[in-house]
Amino acid sequence: MSSLKGKAIHVDEQYLHVELKDGRIISTPMNWYPELKNATLVQLTAYRFICRGTGIEWPELDYHLSIEAMLTEDRLAKTA
């Protein structure tokens, strides 16, 4: 699944949406990520892609997320 490379992130009250470079969008519930759900909009927009685009980092929150892990049921594996 190394083709899962992020292009942009959008957040609403219920979901974290990750737009992939190939045009697909992955959406997962915000309540899966308490650190993100409790963050401010300014903190959420301060992200960057890491690991050649396969992961997301929010430096101010010290939080990392693997895009591939967003598709698994094992939420503990989601943090990089």
Region 48-63 average pLDDT? 96
pLDDT of residue 22 exceeding 60: yes
Region 37-60 average pLDDT? 96
* Contact in structure between 28 and 35 (CB atoms under 8 Å): no
What is the reported pLDDT for 76?
53
Share of the chain above pLDDT 90, in %: 82
Region 36-64 average pLDDT? 96
Residue owning tokens 């699944």: 1
| Secondary structure of residue 29 in the 3-state scheme | strand
Q: What does the alpha-carbon distance between residue 14 and residue 37 come to, in Å, rounded to a whole number?
A: 9
Region 16-43 average pLDDT? 95
The model carries a pTM of 0.85
